[in-house]
Structure 1
Amino acid sequence: MLIAIVDDTPVNLIVMKSLVLRLGEHQCVTFDEPLPALDWCLQNSPDLIIVDYMMPGIDGLEFIRRCRNEERLRDQPILMVTAASEREVRYAALEAGATDFLIKPIDKYEFNPRVRNMLRLRASMSAVSRRADELDQEVKKAVEAIHAREHETVVRLARAAEFRDPETGSHIVRMAQYSELIARCLGMPDAEREMLLIAAPMHDVGKLGTPDHILLKSGRLTPEELLVMREHAMIGYEILKDSTSPVLRMAAQIAASHHEKFDGSGYPFGLAGEDIPLIGRIVAVADVFDALTSQRPYKPAWSLEHARDFLLQGRGSHFDPRCVDEFLGAWEEVLRIHSRNAD
């Protein structure tokens, strides 16, 4: 253990240091001035501080207060050395944060057990702190494992939808990264952005319930077929909505809202403006942009510039203007995502 002794009387320092070193193989640092001692304690966090009350510069009470104001020294044991008659000082020391007292003149039969008890207390506190750190790491590992399983569930469901849909696997990767990019530019918190990155690929999972003759049709859909196709938004919501997983609940909200339009002409609910969940407005931009720039059985891929113009034309009608502006304002990153995840 590392022990700091602060006393302006050299004889007292010699006596206390000698007694401490007889208690075990501890390191002992002594100071005859309080301010240099305080600076050293704040930088080194000793396991025990023994400090005299009457000292030049600052007294022992102020020394203790300044130690307790430092986060690293909030719980370290501190012994205050006072004269037997200084009862009021001892009361004040307790208020300042002293752990225990030593009475002058120093008596080894009192000094040894009090210091030994303080060192045991410190050892117990250190053991509890280490165990808390170990438990914290175990909890983090368990949470990471849960998140990994959630992520795997999302990916597998998204892939199941992908097998039935002519869209490519790269589409769900790109549109998820576009979605995260927009969210980042909008200032969404890190945890929500990470969740969005995982949940966004689930946006069309409801297509699992769309009949093949409609889903895989290469020509234009009839009005009746279009109504059936649009049911995939609510089918996806129904598949995901009752999950206990926050990621899958977010995916349910995305599935139900990413075909809404800012002017209220979208589906399935005809929501408008900020009544549409923000994550739905974000994914709408990301999904449409990537769908336009991807080749499908029923259409060639649009150029990036053509798709960019489409977003601008739909700004305020189809799309949330803020989402469009942030997406196009990060155009260099958009190009990197598109190039990095080519079909």
Structure 2
Amino acid sequence: MKVAVVDDSDSSLSLMSGLVAALDNVEAVPFSRATDALIWIGQNPVDLVIVDYLMPSLNGLGFIELFRRDPKQASIPVIMVTSSESKDVRYMALQLGATDFLTKPIDPVEFTARVNNTLEAHRAHKAMADQSAWLASEVARATERLLDREREALLVLGRTAEHRDPETGRHLTRMSHYSWLIALALGLPTDQAARIKVASPLHDVGKVAIPDHILLKPGKLTPDEFAIMKGHAQHGANILAGSQSPLLQLACEIALSHHEWFDGSGYPNGLSGDAIPLSGRIVAVADVFDALTTTRPYKTPWSFEDAHDHLRTGAGCHFDPVCVTAFGSVLSDIRDVFEANRE
């Protein structure tokens, strides 16, 4: 362990450094100038600092104040050596971050015992901190592995609907990336945007409950058929409901709300404005845009410009205007996703 000893008196510096060096596995690093010590400590790890109070230019109190400004030094113990009996000095040192005090003239027995005890306490603190850091990293790795499995399971579940509906193709990949880009453009935290990206492919999972003669019909649906088709939003929510997983809870929210319209004319619950969950408002934009720009049996693909115009025209009616604006701000990224994931 390394101990920085700071004292402008050569005799005191020599005495304290010798006593420190006599301890097992401890190295003394002496400094006669406080500023030199601060510079060196800023570049080298230490386990303890012993600093004299009365020094020219920068005294012990000033040293401790500057030393504690560095967050990396917050847990390093500091012993201040002083011949002053003033309680004010000691109070100030404690407020600035001193750990202990030694009184001049130095008593070698007391000095050795206090320094050794302080180093042992710091060694134990470091060991505990290292163990805590290791445990935290192991927990983080285990959590990430669980999340990876959960994300994989969600993607597989989302593909259930995709395989029943041949129109979708790589729709899930594109619209989930579009949703993620919109969320980031809205300023959502990166972890929240990532959750929307992972959960959004389940938006149409309720289509597994729609009869084939309706789901696979190549032409326009009749009003009665469309009424049955609209039930996929509630079916999806029913499939995903009741989970303790935050990702599945978000997927349930998206499945239920991504066909709501901003003006309240959507389904299944006729929600409007901010009453529609933000995740649903985001996915609505991404879902419709992808549907417009891809080939379907009943339509040819729209151009990017026409599809974007449709979103802007529908802002405030079908779509949340803020989400449409966010979409437009990342249109070049949207195009990149489309090009990378063509049918």
Q: Normalised by the size of structure 1, how large is the TM-score?
A: 0.94
Calculate percent identity across the aligned residue pairs. 49
Write the mapping of 1:46-125 to structure 2, written as runs, cut at 5 A: 46-83=46-83, 85=85, 89-125=89-125
Q: Deviations over 1:277-314 (max 9, x none)?
A: 22111111110111122222333333333322322332
In structure 2, relative to structure 1, the CA distance for the partners of 1:318 and 1:87 (3 Å cut) is closer
The alpha carbon displacement at 1:73 in A equals: 1.8
Moved more, 68-77 or 46-55: 68-77
Q: Deviations over 1:16-53 (max 9, x none)?
A: 11221121343322222223323333443421101111
Q: State the match for 2:293 in structure 1.
A: 293
The alpha carbon displacement at 1:173 in A equals: 0.4
Q: State the match for 2:238 in structure 1.
A: 238
Q: State the match for 1:203 in structure 2.
A: 203
The alpha carbon displacement at 1:91 in A equals: 4.6
Gaps of 5+ in 2: none
Number of equivalent positions = 343
Q: 1: distance between equivalents of 2:231 and 2:85?
A: 86
The alpha carbon displacement at 1:85 in A equals: 4.6
Q: Is the 8 A contact 1:81 1:102 kept in 2?
A: yes
Q: State the match for 1:2 in structure 2.
A: 2
Give the root-mean-square deviation of aligned CA atoms: 1.9
Q: State the match for 2:270 in structure 1.
A: 270
Moved more, 289-298 or 208-217: 289-298
Moved more, 239-248 or 52-61: 52-61
Q: State the match for 2:334 in structure 1.
A: 334
The alpha carbon displacement at 1:87 in A equals: 5.7
Moved more, 216-225 or 109-118: 109-118
Q: Is the 8 A contact 1:285 1:324 kept in 2?
A: yes
Q: State the match for 2:142 in structure 1.
A: 142
1:296 corresponds to which letter in structure 2? R
Moved more, 154-163 or 193-202: 154-163
In structure 2, relative to structure 1, the CA distance for the partners of 1:87 and 1:290 (3 Å cut) is closer
Paired residue secondary structure (1:155): helix
Q: 2: distance between equivalents of 1:87 and 1:291?
A: 77
Q: State the match for 1:185 in structure 2.
A: 185
1:163 corresponds to which letter in structure 2? H
Q: State the match for 1:216 in structure 2.
A: 216
Q: Deviations over 1:222-263 (max 9, x none)?
A: 111111100000111111121111111111111111111122
Moved more, 54-63 or 206-215: 54-63
Q: State the match for 1:281 in structure 2.
A: 281
Q: Is the 8 A contact 1:45 1:72 kept in 2?
A: no
1:206 corresponds to which letter in structure 2? G
1:135 corresponds to which letter in structure 2? L
Moved more, 31-40 or 81-90: 81-90
Q: Is the 8 A contact 1:159 1:169 kept in 2?
A: no
2:314 corresponds to which letter in structure 1? G
Moved over 6 A (4+): none
Gaps of 5+ in 1: none
The alpha carbon displacement at 1:112 in A equals: 1.8
The alpha carbon displacement at 1:84 in A equals: 7.6
Q: State the match for 1:29 in structure 2.
A: 29
